[in-house]
Amino acid sequence: MTSDSENKAGVRRVYLDHSATTPVRAEVMGAMMPYFAGQFGNPSSIHRWGREARAAVEDARAKVASLIGAAPQEIIFTSGGTEADNLAIRGTAWHKRSKGNHLITSSVEHHAVLHTCETLEKEGFKVTYLPVDKYGMIDPEDVEKAITDETILITIMHGQNEVGTIEPVREIGQIARRHGVTFHVDAVQSAGKIPIDVSDMNIDLLTMSSHKMYGPKGVGALYVRKGVRLSPQATGGSHERGLRAGTENVPGIVGFGEACRLAKEEMPEESLRLTRLRDRLIGGILDSIPDTVLNGHPTIRLPHHVNISFKFIEGESILLNLDLMGIGASSGSACTSGSLEPSHVLLAMGLPHELAHGSVRMTLGKGNSEEDIDYVISVLPPIVSKLRDMSVFR
Amino acid sequence: MYNDKVMDHFMNPRNVGEIQDADGAGQVGNPVCGDVMRITIRVEDGKIADIKFRTFGCGAAIATSSMVTELVKGLTLDEAMEVSNKAVAEALGGLPAQKMHCSNLAADALHKAIEDYRAKHPANSGA
């Protein structure tokens, strides 16, 4: 994409890609700063420097746990969401291999889950990939039907990252509990956005990522319910209860903790504000541009998440035009995925290839105002009609 | 990711549209991979007198379509048949590597349009 300096002076800047990543909040950065140089100790050391770092890590662990209704000792810090997904899935599969070799997941999971499951298939495990409905929603009944005597893990995401649909994890959790199957939830997109209670939802393992919620990149966590056993995937020292070897990323963990504390405190108000902006954006686009379709569930969706397909045109060409107007968004088009296939999520929902290629994801965040939304709604119609005038499918 | 020349052809595409009662038409690509291009030509005295394109696709697909129309307008049909996808990409100052195969099909659409013309006009299909 074009660099900042290439944008015309005076053009409004609207970042609408908060599901890709978010800026680190000033409060978060402030909390992190002392732990780079001043309080730089290794939390495993017994001296004063080590104890200071240990106290900071444990304080952060309590804040992360509090966001999801967990106990602090149930939080394992990782390098991010992908590592936490790997630890949860591979760690369960290999630990429980003597009990069974079957995993259940869905066809709309993030690649961190899907590709991990595919790797396990090559290693001899069997995986069921559940279908979804036209909104990208999994049917809990399908989960129950897929369970066999061999099933050792169910892994289902909470907030769908591409289309924003919120999956029925509470219902799936009840089923998993009833059948005694370990239940992992990838909550990278939902944590800090909508309430999560791991006890109420019967979740055994839950993945979180710091940089999706105004914390730093390079840090995440896996919630591991007390009593749930995993095979560690990185071996070494006895850090993180022996589940994740390696010296802790202290500044990152401190920032993640602060981000969780702020998210919990602000969630009731911020999720309402984002929902209003989201619905203003969806309504504005669907009303002003013909032949547009909302992807994902209209109401059971993440408060900050919009995904719309524009018929007859392709996503990357829309993104390039938006970028020139100062707007940052993303697309499920093959052209932006680095492969020849459009989004596996949109295809699993039954969208024809043309509509999948023509999808644009706009994910809102703290920095976005009503004026930003109205600017996007004013800028989009001429972009779409210009591209449609050029299109073969006009 | 795109250079200035590609962005110029993408934002200000040349020769957009469809020639009515065209002498030749060619379409390549398919919606599955996300790029479809259609080129129509008008031929006079063995030369491409007019050429227009319509494209469904990414920035590279639109820019290469625009560039190929600019490159071949006024050329003889034989000369136009010599213009390759690679030459179109070079005329644009290069494309990102991942775009070279999926989105760089404009010359193929042009060649199809010329072949269509020649099939319909076997008597004067020469240069």
What is the DSSP secondary structure assignment for residue B55, as one 8-state letter?
A: E
- Touching B: A residues 199-228, CB under 8 Å: none
- Residue among A317, A340, A353 whose CB faces B62 most closely: A317
- On whether any CB of chain B is under 8 Å from the CB of A248, the answer is no
CATH 3.40.640.10 positions along chain A are 26-262
Tokens at A213, concatenated: 């919620």
Distance in Å, alpha carbon of A390 to nearest chain B alpha carbon: 5
Which residue of the set B102, B115, B118, B125 is catalytic?
B102
Q: Output the pLDDT for position A259.
A: 98
Residue A340 sits at the chain B interface (C-beta within 8 Å): yes
Give CATH 3.90.1150.10 domain extents, chain A.
14-24+267-390
Catalytic option among B1, B33, B119, B127 = B33
Residue B127 lies in a domain: no
3-class secondary-structure state, position B61: helix
Place of tokens 């990409």: B89
Interface residue A9 vs chain B (CB under 8 A): no
For chain A, state the CA radius of gyration: 22
Q: Give the residue on B whose Cα is nearest the Cα of A340.
A: B33
Kindly state the tokens that stand for A270.
């911020």
Chain B nearest CA to A2, separation (Å): 7
In this prediction, residue A5 carries a pLDDT of 40
Task: Work out the mean pLDDT of chain A and round it to a whole number.
Answer: 95
Interchain pair B55, A340: CB under 8 A: no
A340 exposure class (CB count in 10 Å sphere: 0-12, 13-18, 19+): middle
- How near does any CA of chain A get to the CA of B74, in Å? 23
Compare CB distances from B10 to A320, A338, A354 and report the shortest one's residue. A320
The Cβ of residue B71 has, within 10 Å, a number of other Cβ atoms equal to 20
The values of phi and psi at residue A64, to 5°, are -65, -45
Question: Which residue on chain A is closest to B61 by alpha carbon?
Answer: A317
Chain A to chain B, count of Cβ pairs less than 8 Å apart?
Answer: 71
Q: What is the mean pLDDT of residues A179-191?
A: 98
User: Are A320 and B37 in contact (CB < 8 Å)?
Assistant: no
CB atoms within 10 A of CB A232: 20
Residue-wise pLDDT tens digits, B15-73: 999 999 999 999 999 888 789 999 999 999 999 999 999 999 999 999 999 999 999 99
Q: Which two tokens stand for residue A4?
A: 């900042």
End-to-end CA distance of chain B: 39
pLDDT at A4 over 70: no
**Architecture label for domain A26-262:** 3-Layer(aba) Sandwich (3.40)
> CA-CA distance, B37 to A128, in Å (whole number)?
39
Nearest 5°: CA angle at A170, between A194 and A18? 30
Specify the pTM.
0.94
User: Which of A137, A123, A166, A83 lies closest to A349, judged by CA?
Assistant: A137
Could you tell me which of B107, B101, B54 has the C-alpha nearest to residue B79? B107
pLDDT over threshold 60, residue A6: no
The identity of residue A109, as a single letter, is: E
Find which of B6, B11, B58, B100 to mutate to test the A interface (most A CBs within 10 Å of its CB). Answer: B58
Residues of B in contact with A333 (CB under 8 A): 34, 58
How does residue A394 score in pLDDT terms, banded at 50, 70 and 90?
confident
Say what the ipTM of the complex is. Answer: 0.93
Q: Which of A312, A314, A389 sits opposite B58 (nearest CB)?
A: A314
The predicted-structure confidence for A97-152, as pLDDT tens digits, reads as follows: 999 999 999 999 999 999 999 999 999 999 999 999 999 999 999 999 999 999 99
Which CATH topology does A14-24+267-390 take? Aspartate Aminotransferase, domain 1 (3.90.1150)
Residue A112 has what pLDDT? 96
- Alpha carbon A319 to chain centroid, angstroms: 21
Between the alpha carbon of residue B125 and those of residues A357, B89, B115, the distances in Å are: 38, 27, 9
Q: Could you give the strand order of the β-sheet that contains B24-30, starting from the edge strand earlier in sequence? A: B24-30, B35-44, B47-56
pLDDT reported for residue A1: 38
Chain B positions in Cβ-Cβ contact with residue A342 (cut-off 8 Å): 34
Contact residues for A72 (Cβ-Cβ < 8 A; gap 6+):
A58, A61, A62, A65
Q: Which two tokens stand for residue A110?
A: 């993030």
Closest alpha carbon within chain B to A318: B58
Would an 8 Å CB–CB cutoff place A390 in contact with chain B?
yes
The structural domain count of chain B equals 1
Contact A392, B37 (CB under 8 A): yes
Contacts of B60 in chain A (CB under 8 A): 335
Q: What is the CATH number of the domain that holds B51?
A: 3.90.1010.10
- A389–chain B nearest CA distance, Å: 8
Owner of token pair 């549209």: B17
What per-residue confidence (pLDDT) applies to A340? 64
pLDDT band at A284, cuts 50/70/90? very high
pLDDT of residue A339: 63
Name the phi and psi angles at A78, rounded to 5: -130, -175
Q: How far apart are CA A110 and CA A101, in angstroms?
A: 22
* Residue A284 to chain B, least CA–CA distance (Å): 25
Q: What is the pLDDT of residues A329-376, one digit of tens each?
A: 999 776 665 566 788 999 999 999 989 999 999 999 999 999 999 999
**What residues in A contact B10, CB-CB < 8 Å?**
317, 320
Torsion angle of alpha carbons B26, B32, B33, B35, nearest 10°? Answer: 40
SS (H, E, C) chain A: CCCHHHCCCCCCCEECECCCCCCCCHHHHHHHHHHCCCCCCCCCCCCHHHHHHHHHHHHHHHHHHHHCCCCHHHEEEECCHHHHHHHHHHHHHHHCCCCCCEEEEECCCCHHHHHHHHHHHHCCCEEEEECCCCCCCCCHHHHHHHCCCCEEEEEEECECCCCCEECCHHHHHHHHHHHCCEEEEECCCCCCCCCCCCCCCCCCEEEEEHHHHCCCCCCEEEEECCCCCCCCCCCCCCCHHHCCCCCCCHHHHHHHHHHHHHHHHHHHHHHHHHHHHHHHHHHHHHHHCCCEEECCCCCCECCCEEEEEECCCCHHHHHHHHHHCCEECEECCHHHHCCCCCCHHHHHCCCCHHHHHCEEEEECCCCCCHHHHHHHHHHHHHHHHHHHHHCCCC
A331 touches chain B (CB under 8 A): no
Q: What is the pLDDT of residues B86-121, one digit of tens each?
A: 999 999 999 998 888 777 899 999 999 999 999 999
Is A335 an active-site residue?
Answer: yes
Across the interface, whether the CB atoms of B102 and A389 are under 8 A apart is answered no
The reply to whether B58 belongs to the active site is no
- Structural domain boundaries enclosing B107: 4-120
